[in-house]
């Protein structure tokens, strides 16, 4: 099935400024992404008929380093038929999960559009992880009922669109998703229009703040949107398949409570829209402004929704520069989660923060210390529990009142930035007038869990 072929949505030069980044090579996954190019905006024109994905991606780029060609990540399962640079056909070559386009040298301070046509049946990519909820692989997954969902941390967006698949290259997005029958496409941001076609629907989505590729999401199925307004007036949309309608009432209650608690403790919500899409699989992910949760995760009486929502502040608005810094995401989210559990009387995760040391120690044996983990064991307990325990020790040292200010100041003062350990350490020392370097080294670098 061909894409509908509408004109791509491309932001103005002034708007594109928000998509500018300084991409870096990942220390753990250097085979992914390309620090020579900075993607500013993606327009994804996608058509899915249940078997074949036909896409035209128009990506606005600028050069980040001198080069004669541009490489983006794209799964070898998707066959590229044409590439244009500013409307003129250019040569290209696919190799492995890469697409190299013969752009010639690009000028500094100019922007260019690459228009890439491709199609195929997407295949998930293996996760560099031992986690049980990642055994389906990363990226585009078709569930047994024919619905589509994605989980793609630390990478995997390249299984469905050409992308500089790295957190250091955040970009703006628009998407038009054309589906057949009762299926509709769900994406990040705001649903701008839902247009009937001869055989289905085209849903158009707009994202007004930069997003890292691991935080994009797509879900396709016979979804219905339900919108609930929190007591403070925030609209949260819940996208549910018919089989999951029974989850709505609990989701609305938990979503409102989590949102209000987070605005009280983390500060004003950093984005303009918020939604939750319930999918298959067995994981949950903080995809930006549209949280992706498996129905299993959404059915449990726990604080997973609060956890994923907290990442909108800690991880999505303030994003790690590279995957060595993922403990910044999960340490803050786990800290907020256990705080919320204590406040609301929910069952404490793994027995509560005072009992986490032995789980952390077991994880360090396999996966290494959180500040320099084993890249083949991405997302293990080591990057979750111990950075949260570290934050708790910082709380003990500075006192509750000061710490609660820090909790709000970190996302507020680094909004839409990429950060790393040095950023955090310098900021923490500056805010407190102390030297927390030794404490960070103890928690992040030790082979054994600190006592
Ligand atoms: Zn998390």
What is the CA(394)–ligand 1 centre distance, in A? 20
Cα(173) to centroid(ligand 1), Å: 23
Edge-first strand order for the sheet with 139-142 is 139-142, 148-151, 218-221, 184-187
Confidence of residue 3 (pLDDT cuts 50, 70, 90): very low
Q: How far is the CA of 73 from the centre of ligand 1 (A)?
A: 25
- CA–centroid distance, 332 to ligand 1, in Å, is 9
Q: Where would I find the beta strands (DSSP E) of 258-378? A: 275-279, 284-285, 290-294, 318-320
Report how far ligand 1's centroid is from the alpha carbon of 393 (Å).
20
Residue carrying the six token digits 């984005």 = 271
Summarised one tens digit per residue, pLDDT across range 81-103 is 999 999 999 999 999 999 999 99
pLDDT of residue 431: 98
Ligand 1 centroid to Cα of residue 14, in Å, is 33
pLDDT for 228 equals 97
Assign 6 a pLDDT band (cuts: 50, 70, 90): confident
Taking the centre of ligand 1 as the mean of its atom positions, its distance from the CA of residue 314, in whole angstroms, is 9
Q: Residue 367: which pLDDT band, with cuts at 50, 70 and 90? A: very high
Which one, of 59, 171, 34, lies nearest residue 111 by Cα? Answer: 59
Closest CA relative to residue 125, chosen from 147, 166, 163, 154 = 154
* Domains, the chain, with CATH or none: 13-134+152-205 (2.60.40.1730), 226-312 (3.30.2010.30), 320-445 (1.10.390.10)
Distance 427 CA to ligand 1 centre (A): 22
Which of 291, 294, 298 has the alpha carbon at shortest distance from 281? 294
Q: Are 294 and 281 in contact (CB under 8 A)?
A: yes
**pLDDT tens digits for range 50-73:** 999 999 999 999 999 999 999 999
pLDDT digits over 315-364, tens only? 999 999 999 999 999 999 999 999 999 999 999 999 999 999 999 999 99
Distance 308 CA to ligand 1 centre (A): 6
Residue 156: name the closest of 140, 139, 176, 172 by CA: 139
What's the gap in Å between 442 CA and the centre of ligand 1?
A: 22
Predicted local distance difference test score (pLDDT) of residue 179: 98
Q: Are 431 and 394 in contact (CB under 8 A)?
A: no
Summarize pLDDT for 169-183 with one digit per residue, the tens.
999 999 999 999 999
What value does the mean pLDDT take over residues 274-278? 98
The β-bridge partners of 293 are 278, 284
Output the CA 202–ligand 1 centroid distance in Å: 31
Looking only at Cα atoms, what is the longest distance across the chain?
A: 65
Residue 166 Cα, ligand 1 centroid: separation in angstroms? 17
Q: Are 436 and 398 in contact (CB under 8 A)?
A: no
Query: Cα torsion for 436, 440, 441, 446, to the nearest 10°?
Result: 150
Query: 70: CA distance to ligand 1 center in Å?
Result: 32
pTM of the full structure: 0.97
Which tens digits make up the pLDDT trace of 135-162? 889 999 999 999 999 999 999 999 999 9
Q: What pLDDT shows up at residue 109?
A: 84
Q: Ligand 1 centroid vs 98 CA: distance in angstroms? A: 28
Which pLDDT band holds residue 403 (cuts at 50, 70, 90)?
A: very high
Distance 388 CA to ligand 1 centre (A): 11
| Residue owning tokens 């990057």 | 383
Q: What separation in Å is there between the alpha carbon of 60 and the centre of ligand 1?
A: 30
Give the confidence band of 5 by pLDDT, cuts at 50, 70, 90.
low
Q: Average pLDDT of 4-30?
A: 91
pLDDT tens digits, 249-273? 999 999 999 999 999 999 999 999 9
Query: Is the pLDDT reported for residue 1 higher than 80?
Result: no
CA distance 259 to 128: 32
d(CA 208, CA 271): 9
Q: Which residue has the tokens 């890249």?
A: 375
Q: What is the mean pLDDT of the chain?
A: 96
**Ligand 1 centroid, distance to 207 Cα (angstroms):** 22
Distance 236 CA to ligand 1 centre (A): 20
Q: Rounded distance, CA 218 to CA 230, Å?
A: 25
Ligand 1 centroid–CA 113 distance in Å is 34
| φ, ψ (nearest 5 deg) of residue 26 | -75, 130
pLDDT tens-digit series, residues 100-135: 999 999 999 899 999 999 999 999 999 999 998 998
Q: How far apart are the CA of 33 and the centre of ligand 1, in A? A: 23
- Report the distance separating Cα 116 and Cα 200, nearest Å: 24
Q: How far is the CA of 328 from the centre of ligand 1 (A)?
A: 10
CA of 286 to the centre of ligand 1 (A): 7
Q: Are strands 200-211 and 78-85 parallel, antiparallel or unpaired?
A: unpaired
pLDDT of 49 > 60? The answer is: yes
Model confidence at 422, pLDDT cuts 50, 70, 90, reads very high
Distance 297 CA to ligand 1 centre (A): 13
d(CA 139, CA 255): 26
CA–CA distance, 332 with 409 (Å, rounded to integer) = 13
Task: Decide: 201 and 238 in contact? Cβ < 8 Å.
Answer: no
């Amino acid at each position: 099935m061909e894409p509908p072929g509408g004109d791509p949505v491309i932001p103005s030069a002034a708007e594109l400024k928000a998509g500018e980044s300084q991409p870096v090579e990942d220390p753990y996954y250097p085979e992914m992404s390309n620090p020579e190019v900075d993607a500013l905006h993606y327009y994804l024109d996608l058509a899915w008929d249940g078997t074949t994905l036909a896409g035209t991606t128009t990506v606005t780029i600028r050069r980040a380093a001198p080069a004669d060609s541009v490489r983006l990540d794209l799964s070898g399962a998707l066959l590229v038929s044409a590439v244009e640079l500013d409307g003129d056909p250019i040569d290209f070559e696919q190799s492995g999960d890469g697409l190299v386009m013969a752009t010639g040298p690009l000028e500094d301070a100019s922007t260019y559009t690459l228009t890439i046509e491709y199609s195929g049946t997407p295949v998930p990519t293996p996760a560099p992880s031992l986690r049980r909820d990642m055994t389906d692989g990363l990226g585009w997954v078709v569930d047994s009922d024919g619905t589509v969902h994605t989980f793609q941390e630390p990478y995997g967006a390249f299984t469905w669109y050409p992308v500089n698949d790295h957190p250091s290259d955040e970009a703006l997005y628009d998407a038009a998703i054309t589906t057949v029958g009762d299926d509709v496409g769900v994406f990040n941001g705001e649903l701008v229009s839902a247009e009937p076609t001869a055989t289905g629907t085209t849903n158009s989505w707009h994202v007004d703040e930069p997003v890292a590729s691991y935080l994009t999401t797509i879900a396709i199925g016979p979804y219905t949107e339900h919108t609930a307004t929190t007591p403070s007036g925030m609209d949260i949309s819940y996208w549910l398949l018919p089989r999951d309608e029974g989850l709505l009432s609990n989701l609305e209650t938990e979503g409102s409570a989590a949102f209000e608690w987070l605005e009280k403790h983390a500060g004003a919500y950093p984005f303009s829209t918020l939604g939750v899409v319930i999918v298959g699989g067995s994981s949950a992910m903080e995809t930006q402004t549209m949280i992706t949760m498996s129905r299993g995760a959404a059915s449990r009486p726990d604080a997973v929704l609060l956890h994923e929502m907290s990442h909108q502040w800690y991880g999505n608005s303030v994003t790690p520069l590279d995957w060595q810094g993922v403990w910044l995401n999960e340490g803050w989210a786990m800290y907020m989660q256990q705080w919320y559990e204590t406040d609301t009387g929910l069952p404490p995760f793994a027995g509560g923060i005072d009992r986490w040391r032995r789980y952390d120690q077991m994880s360090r044996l396999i996966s290494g210390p959180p500040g320099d983990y084993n890249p083949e064991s991405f997302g293990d307990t080591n990057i979750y529990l111990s950075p949260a325990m570290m934050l708790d020790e910082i709380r003990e040292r500075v006192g509750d009142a000061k710490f609660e200010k820090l909790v709000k100041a970190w996302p507020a003062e680094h909004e839409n930035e990429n950060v790393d350990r040095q950023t955090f350490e310098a900021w923490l020392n500056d805010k407190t007038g102390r030297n927390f370097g030794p404490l960070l080294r103890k928690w992040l670098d030790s082979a054994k869990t600190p006592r």
